[in-house]
Each structure stands twice: as structure tokens, then as C-alpha cells.
């Protein structure tokens, strides 16, 4: 795949150090218009240094690869390809990379949706776990969501997941004040955010084949929710390269 570096550098801003691309072509040519539904299998792709290019898409490519690559280092995707043979700049390599990066863009802009597709479920709302105001207890529906969330990184070994501790300053403060008006509410809020994140992290480690290093806790944030549920979000990333 390093032969495609001129295209990856132009459209992705990265070189390709290694990898193998297999293409199963099925296309039609009508009135000099190329259209095809093709299968692309990429084996163990490794990206290299960054390349300055005005046409490069600003995408977290390492995350995209981590989301698509299975435990054997294989990315298997179906890509529609179109192009005109009358285009003076027509290049098959160019339209391949454009098709690939259309897929990558969809994956990284909605990573939990990509995970849902991997698991065969709708996962649009899986990036946040809801808590009752003033509580760090995981409700049964949220426990069920975490089972699915834990399963996906287990199938994608390069993925890591970060839990972002959160409090709703208004709803949580009111709930805690009802429980104990004499307590240090500020300290209670900080502890509550941490307890929520740790509850999610512990459940993810328990439910899936994830070691502790792949589930981290980030910095706490304050959110403005609707008052009935407090959403603690999760973000996906990649392992740091040594």
C-alpha cells in the first residue's frame, strides 16, 4: 500500500508505511461513466509521517483504523466507486482513496454508531450513561448499555475508552442538599462525579474483555442537564504509540 502514499498524503495528510490492499472489483462502464460496488480488504495498515497538503481531510485516522480493524489487523469494507473516464484528472488510485476516506469520515464523526454496526445494534445513545440526580448507582438499563459498550473494544484491540466524570450543578446540588443540608456540598459533588465514572469503569472491565489500562477516567466536567437524569459521557481513542 505504500505505492498509494501520493494519494494518502494528498487526501489524508499521512504516508502509508506498510500494509496490503486486496480489491475485489465489480464495476460497470456506461457512457464512459464508471460505477462499481467493490470489496476492499486492507491488511495491517501502518500510517507514517504527516504530509502537508491543502486537500488533506482533518480526520483522526488512527481512531478510524482502530474502529475498523479487527483483532487480526484486517479492515473489510464495501465501497461504492464512481468516476468519469472523460475527467482529465481521472485516476483509479484517486477514486479509491476518495471512497475510502468517505467511509473513514463517517466512522470518526459517529464512532459509537460504528460500534453499533459492528455489534448489529443501534448505538447512537451509547456514548452517555444516565444517573439519577445525586446518585452514582447504575440503573438496570444503563448496566445493559455498558454490556454492549464493553464488547466492542474487546473486538477492536487498538481502541481505548475514556469516561468523563460529570455532575449537573443544579440537579445534583439540589438532590444532595435534600439528603444532607449540612454537608460540604462542593466536596460531595466532586466525589459524586468520581464515583459515577468509577462505577462505569468498573462495570466495563467486569463486563468485557478489557484490561484496566484500556478504560481511563478523565477530568470532571459540569453539565447543564434537564434535571431528571445526569449524562456521563464516554469517548473513544487509540492506544498511545511507543
Average pLDDT for 173-202: 85
The Cα–Cα gap between 14 and 232 comes to 34
CB 34 within 8 A of CB 92: no
Determine the pLDDT at residue 31: 77
Identify the CATH number of the domain defined by range 127-238: 3.30.1330.60
By CB atoms closer than 10 A (0-12, 13-18, 19+), residue 207 is middle
Name the maximum alpha-carbon separation found in the chain: 79
Bridge-partner residues for 163, per DSSP?
217, 234
CB count in 10 Å sphere of residue 155: 14
Q: Check whether 123 has a pLDDT greater than 70.
A: no
Determine the pLDDT at residue 93: 67
The Cα–Cα gap between 40 and 38 comes to 6
Q: Check whether 219 has a pLDDT greater than 70.
A: yes
Q: Check whether 182 has a pLDDT greater than 70.
A: no
Q: Check whether 3 has a pLDDT greater than 70.
A: no
Pairing of strands 33-50, 128-131: unpaired
**pLDDT category of residue 133 using cuts at 50, 70 and 90:** very high
Determine the pLDDT at residue 136: 95
**102 grid coordinates:** 468517505
**pLDDT category of residue 7 using cuts at 50, 70 and 90:** low
Q: Is the pTM of this model over 0.75?
A: no
Lowest mean pLDDT among 42-46, 89-93, 127-131, 190-194: 89-93
Q: Check whether 1 has a pLDDT greater than 70.
A: no
Lowest mean pLDDT among 7-11, 54-58, 172-176: 7-11
Q: Where on the phi/psi map is residue 31: left (φ > 0), alpha (ψ -120 to 50), or beta?
A: left
Buried b (16+ CB within 10 A) or exposed e, 125-153: ebbbbbbebbbbebeeebeebbebbbbbb
Lowest mean pLDDT among 29-43, 52-66, 82-96, 127-141: 82-96
Q: Check whether 225 has a pLDDT greater than 60.
A: yes
Average pLDDT for 47-54: 82
By CB atoms closer than 10 A (0-12, 13-18, 19+), residue 110 is middle
Q: Write out the DSSP string of 74-131.
A: EEEEEEEEEEETT-TT--HHHHHHHHHHHHHHHHHHSHHHHHHHHHTS--TTTTEEEE
Domain boundaries, the chain: 2-109, 127-238
Determine the pLDDT at residue 121: 73
Determine the pLDDT at residue 194: 95
Amino acid at each position: 500500500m505504500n505505492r498509494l502514499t501520493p494519494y494518502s498524503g494528498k487526501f489524508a495528510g499521512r504516508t502509508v508505511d506498510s500494509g496490503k490492499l486486496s480489491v475485489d472489483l465489480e464495476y460497470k462502464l456506461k457512457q464512459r461513466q464508471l460505477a462499481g460496488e467493490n470489496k476492499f480488504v486492507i491488511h495491517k495498515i501502518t500510517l507514517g509521517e504527516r504530509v502537508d497538503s491543502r486537500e488533506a481531510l482533518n480526520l483522526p485516522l488512527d481512531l478510524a483504523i482502530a474502529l475498523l480493524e479487527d483483532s487480526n489487523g484486517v479492515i473489510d469494507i464495501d465501497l461504492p466507486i464512481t468516476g468519469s473516464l472523460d475527467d482529465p484528472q481521472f485516476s483509479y488510485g484517486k477514486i479509491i482513496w476518495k471512497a475510502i476516506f468517505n467511509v473513514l469520515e463517517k466512522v470518526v464523526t459517529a464512532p459509537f454508531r460504528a460500534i453499533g454496526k459492528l455489534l448489529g445494534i443501534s448505538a447512537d445513545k451509547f456514548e452517555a450513561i444516565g444517573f439519577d440526580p445525586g446518585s452514582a448507582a447504575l440503573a438496570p438499563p444503563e448496566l445493559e448499555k455498558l454490556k454492549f459498550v464493553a464488547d466492542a473494544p474487546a473486538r477492536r484491540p487498538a481502541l481505548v475508552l475514556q469516561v468523563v466524570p460529570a455532575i449537573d450543578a443544579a440537579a445534583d446540588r439540589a438532590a444532595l442538599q435534600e439528603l444532607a443540608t449540612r454537608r460540604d456540598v462542593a466536596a460531595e459533588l466532586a466525589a459524586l462525579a468520581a464515583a459515577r465514572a468509577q462505577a462505569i469503569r468498573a462495570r466495563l472491565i467486569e463486563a468485557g474483555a478489557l484490561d484496566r489500562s484500556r478504560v481511563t477516567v478523565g477530568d470532571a466536567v459540569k453539565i447543564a442537564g434537564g434535571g431528571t437524569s445526569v449524562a456521563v459521557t464516554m469517548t473513544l481513542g487509540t492506544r498511545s504509540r511507543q
